[in-house]
Structure 1
């Protein structure tokens, strides 16, 4: 048996036109999946580091849009507003900015969900088409030998393998990165609470006022 025929490239070259289109689409989806996973993991690491430094009193770094929203809310003085009300308003303004920031940072995360759910069905289409090719070969040759049905079956199984190669990493990446962003949201929320408290505390209020100006 020639084991080289089982390589992904050989299976692609031996497939029919429809099978090649299906496999090429799934290969592109697989490459795109890994690009999105790397981008998402990098964003999680960078934001987690920035949040840790900001909570420790260091530079806010990537969280500057959130910090700027807090300074903007602090600079606005409303009549008859208590310190608690102002603190709540600052936290709400920062939370709104944080949601927008994290949504933007997630980038292509929703695309991973699409790939993980669609890729198996695209692979299934290739599988069905390969089996149909096998039956067509049997009908044309009036022969049910393995040599007649093998090419179509191989094409069908190859399409299935390509679909799983795209869907499995996409599904794992979506769940892992999604849960990481959920934890990041909690960390950023803690930072917002600490920052709102710091800005409205009496010893720090004057300094925060200068920063907002």
Structure 2
């Protein structure tokens, strides 16, 4: 190992050993993927909140539910998660009401309840997609960076064994090269952890709103059956 007077970040990376450079490349890839998912999830959660508010306004405006269901069905993909849950429940309710015996509330509501729960689960799965990657990136990246640091320091000290006299100038570049991997690991982990916690909280709030809507909508359907 040769001491280098250039202690810039690019120089430290370029002079690092090959295994350390591979670890840096892996961490960079994790960081790029994490930021891609962070921006995509941000847009998805923002869009879901806006669509939910818009549908709640339409639903509670007091209009005819059958007409609202037709409007939702005609533009299902544009209406949002809550609208699709409503569409699934209303469609099943209309089918159950035609086939269920008159006054049989349980039979008339069992189908809509199951349909909305199935739609709810699909929507939550879509909203929660890629969150596991952010959680994994946040927890694993520091350890990957630490692995690169340990390897780099080991490589630096092995290089020192060939020198007759070790000085701070000869040790510093190797140690700095190794520590860069820890910094990159933290750079990849911190945004992923922050985004995971933020979006998990946002999605949990949406989940509560969806649950509340399902219960309230079933109460409305129950009154219509009587």
In the superposition, the TM-score normalised over structure 1's length comes to 0.83
User: For residue 217 of structure 2, what is the aligned residue in structure 1?
Assistant: 195
Of 140-149 and 107-116, deviating more is 140-149
Of residues 90, 94, 104, the one that matches 1:71 is 90
Name the residue aligned to 2:80.
62
Residue in structure 2 matching 1:142, options 160, 164, 180: 164
Counterpart residue number, 1:208: none
Provide structure 1 residue ranges, at least 5 long, that are not aligned to the other structure: 206-213
Q: Distance in 2 between matches of 1:3 and 1:197?
A: 75
Per the alignment, residue 37 of structure 2 pairs with 36
Cα distance in structure 2, aligned partners of 1:37 and 1:180: 13
**RMSD, aligned CA:** 2.5
Q: CA deviation at 1:80?
A: 6.5
Say which of 117, 135, 155 aligns to 1:95.
117
SS of the equivalent of 2:7 reads helix
CA distance in 2, matches of 1:170, 1:4: 32
Matched with 2:63 is none
The question of whether the paired residues in 2 share the 8 Å contact of 1:29 and 1:115 is answered with yes
Structure 2 portions without partners, runs of 5+: 60-70, 73-78
Does 2:135 align with 1:113?
yes
1:140 counterpart SS class: coil
Give 1:88 deviation, angstroms: 5.2
How many angstroms apart in 1 are the aligned matches of 2:161 and 2:194?
Answer: 42
CA contact (8 A) 1:116 1:170 kept: yes
Q: Residues of 1 paired with 2:205 and 2:114: CA distance? A: 19
Contact 2:124–2:207 (Cα < 8 Å) also in 1: yes
Q: What is the alpha-carbon distance in structure 1 between the residues aligned to residue 39 and residue 176 of structure 2?
A: 32
